[in-house]
Structure 1
Amino acid sequence: MNPAAPRVLVIDDEAQIRRFLDIGLRAEGYQVVLAATGAEGLGLAATQSPDVVVLDIGLPDMEGHDVLRELRTWTQVPVLMLSVRDAETEKVKALDHGANDYVTKPFGIQELMARLRVLLRQGAKARQADAPVRYDDGSLVVDLARREVFLDTVPVTLTRKEFAVLSMLVRHPGRVVSQQQILRDIWGPTHVQDTHYLRIVMGKLRQKLSDDASAPRWLKTEPGVGYRFPAQ
């Protein structure tokens, strides 16, 4: 296998679909990485640096939509969603969460290949924007690729939403990120007015990072607007 060949990460719980895609993609010269669960897929996305992700919506441990939202907190790798659900609302939901394309099962391998070629052409720009992001000021360490946070060398355990919010702020150092932007990207476009969700998560983050709200070191509030993470 050509080590320079594009790498496709397939996240699907159906063994026959994984085998079908593995054979078809390898026949077209792609490198293939396979995952059967959302958690496994997120781990491989962080460690294998895929050029494109093929993601099933119906996974045993978490919804594909949730996997997509987590991916979008730290990578813009092109994502093609797969699903037996052909309702327009499902497609809109996937696209709103950051999917680049959507294919309904059953599908033809040639159609899938054509769509992947389009996404791979878009992927070069995404890879440039996906340089590994790691914040380290000697006290707080946030490693987005490894999904790890340390405070004074002690691991900090965050929920998915807490990590997603922190990641979004870390990726925009020195810039104010609006409450609406955070809510839209992490909770979805129907939750842009649900600022209490964000306040709860920010409170938990401050508690876990020992960041005093009255004199914050990292999670700075811009009243009525949003939040800002310091530039290194």
Structure 2
Amino acid sequence: MNSIRPTVLIIDDESKIRRLLSRSLDGFGFDVLLSASAEEAMFLLEKSKPDIIILDYMMPEVDGLTFLSEMRKRYSIPTIFLSARDEVRIKTKALELGADDYVVKPFSMEELTARIKAVLRRSRVNSEKAPEQTVHNGDLVMFPDRRMCRYKDADIKFADTEFRLLLVLNKRPGTIFTHEDLLRQVWGAEYIGELNYLRVSFSRIRKKLTEAGLAGTAIASYSGIGYYIEDLSEEVL
């Protein structure tokens, strides 16, 4: 991340929204790049390296979800999804595709700025952490420094938040982590109460573990409390 002023790429087809966000974020200490379309945004991403993307859902030709899906194939830049539609289906899909946060319009600039700073803070902390030792839980092995996971002979690719969630559980098999603990450790204290983030992420984690040959039930949830992973070293062979 830039050491002085982080750069935000705003992707929104409404010129009024772009101008408002640009002026406000500049005042909050950010450099701003503007794009009115997905095509223009891809061009900017090839020429510049923004620290974070603010992406609107409703855009002509290529909507925000489609752009996010394509962008994630090439870039891991933190992304906050904006939408005037507070629908669980859209929010869930955005998170599944790799959005780091979801903000519903209308919003205050103070809220958006706080969310931007929280996402950037997580990104910075993750990139600056000293390499961690390999974490073993039976045949499930995680390599934190390389963001790799393997079950027996199968490599499993996780999104960043999915990997960090599984890592928290895998370090202490059999221990129940509350919803609040997990949200605080992976997303930050600002996200306590965002249980849908956990539901979406653990659904994807279980699916990927199952595809690799490990029963998705290895990760269990206690309704209203939290999640834990079984001690896989005790698996019956």
* CA contact 1:9–1:52 (8 Å) conserved in 2: yes
* CA contact 1:35–1:41 (8 Å) conserved in 2: yes
TM-score (norm 1): 0.53
Q: Deviations over 1:200-225 (max 9, x none)?
A: xxxxxxxxxxxxxxxxxxxxxxxxxx
Write the letter of the residue equivalent to 2:78. P
Q: Deviations over 1:123-161 (max 9, x none)?
A: 226768xxxxxxxxxxxxxxxxxxxxxxxxxxxxxxxxx
Q: Deviations over 1:24-57 (max 9, x none)?
A: 0000110000000011112212321010100001
* CA contact 1:39–1:61 (8 Å) conserved in 2: no
Unaligned runs of 5+ in 2: 129-147, 159-203, 208-237
Write the letter of the residue equivalent to 1:20. L
Write the letter of the residue equivalent to 1:114. A
* CA contact 1:76–1:127 (8 Å) conserved in 2: no
* CA contact 1:72–1:98 (8 Å) conserved in 2: yes
Write the letter of the residue equivalent to 1:110. E
Aligned twin of 1:99: 99
* CA contact 1:81–1:103 (8 Å) conserved in 2: yes
Q: CA deviation at 1:3?
A: 7.9
Q: Deviations over 1:82-126 (max 9, x none)?
A: 011111111001000000000111111000000000011122267
Instruction: State the percentage of identical aligned residues.
Output: 38
Give the Cα separation in 1 of the matches to 2:4 and 2:155.
37
Write the letter of the residue equivalent to 1:90. I
Evaluate the alpha carbon distance shift between residue 105 and residue 96 of structure 1 in structure 2; reply closer, same or farther with a 3 A threshold: same
SS of residue paired to 1:16:
helix
SS of residue paired to 1:50:
coil
